[in-house]
Amino acid sequence: MPRLGLLASLFGVSALLSGCASSPEDPLLCGTVSGYLQPDASTHWYRVVVTHLNGQAVISKPNYQLALGDYEFTVAELIDDPSLGVTLSARVPKTFKLSVEGNQRYHIGALFHTDKRYMGKDPSYWEPGVWQQESHECQLELTPETK
């Protein structure tokens, strides 16, 4: 009987520890926001370049590993469709909000609206967003701030 009690206790502690490891309160749990993949052009999604994250200028990179929470991205579109006839002044960065969840990868891009012909200074030809979301293991690296 003591052996059975010991096994039950070990099982309980093990379950508790594994629950803690996957808990949303885990400060190292993160999500990844990616802008490096080229979407299939037939979907009318195109790549973007991140210029700002939560209002702060950033050097664009392929992946952003972020703690769980809400973020605001400012992005510039890289639409190279020959039917797009807007002026350079219409090609302005736009912002969108994204709620990052743990162990998820979000592929962000620019959705080119093809419902009409866009000419001149009409910036409504595109909108930023997520074109694909997938499971992706993510854990923030320990830094002096997170230790």
Q: What is the mean pLDDT of each run of 10 residues along the chain (147 residues)?
A: 44 39 64 94 94 96 95 96 87 96 97 86 92 92 57
Whole-number pLDDT of residue 44: 95
Whole-number pLDDT of residue 48: 96
User: How many angstroms separate the CA atoms of 137 and 12, rounded?
Assistant: 26
User: How many angstroms separate the CA atoms of 101 and 144, rounded?
Assistant: 24
Token pair recorded at residue 52: 């700002």
Burial annotation 130-146 (CB, 10 A radius, 16+ → b, else e): bbeeeeeebeeeeeeee
- Decide if 89 contacts 121 (C-beta within 8 A): yes
Q: Indicate the pTM of the whole model.
A: 0.76
Whole-number pLDDT of residue 146: 44
Backbone CA torsion sign across 58, 72, 28, 108: negative
Whole-number pLDDT of residue 142: 63
Whole-number pLDDT of residue 117: 80
Number of other CB atoms surrounding residue 108 within 10 Å: 24
